[in-house]
């Protein structure tokens, strides 16, 4: 009898950074469920990251100057992930923040 069970294979990975690609400021995050597929109510999640430039406000600015103004969010990146991967991202971010919070680590 032949065992056709998949074998686990682990390969090392290395992040490769483009030295010409500079970090971009991001201050907006949009999460959205994907469209329904077959018998599933939705297919994964869309994650979009963007930047919102606040309007220039001067000493002469009045609230009515901004009535009806819509501030555009400029997309920086977007990606599609499974629920399991999104939960993994959440846990990774939580662990990272817990380990770097000055109030939690006594700095």
* 89 within 8 A of 81, measured Cβ to Cβ: yes
Range of the domain at 54: 28-105
Is 5 within a domain? no
pLDDT at 1: 53
Q: Does residue 87 belong to any structural domain of this protein?
A: yes
**Structural domains counted in the chain:** 1
Query: What does the pLDDT read at residue 102?
Result: 78
Q: Which helix (H) or strand (E) holds 87?
A: helix 83-100
pLDDT at 67: 93
The answer to whether residue 46 sits within a structural domain is yes
* Residue 78: closest CA among 26, 42, 38: 26
Per-residue pLDDT of the chain (107 residues; tens, 9 = 90+): 567 777 888 899 998 988 898 889 999 999 999 999 889 888 899 999 999 999 999 999 999 999 999 999 999 999 999 999 999 999 999 999 988 887 766 65
Instruction: Give the pLDDT of residue 107.
Output: 53
């Amino acid at each position: 009898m032949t065992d056709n069970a998949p074998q686990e294979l682990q390969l090392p990975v290395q992040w490769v950074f483009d030295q010409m690609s500079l970090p971009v400021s991001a201050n907006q995050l949009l999460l959205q469920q994907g469209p329904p597929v077959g018998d599933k109510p939705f297919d994964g999640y869309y994650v979009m990251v963007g930047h919102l430039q606040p309007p220039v406000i001067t000493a002469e600015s009045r609230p009515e100057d901004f009535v009806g103004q819509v501030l555009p969010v400029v997309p920086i990146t977007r990606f599609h992930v499974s629920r399991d991967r999104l939960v993994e991202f959440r846990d990774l971010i939580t662990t990272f923040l817990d380990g770097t919070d000055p109030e939690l680590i006594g700095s």
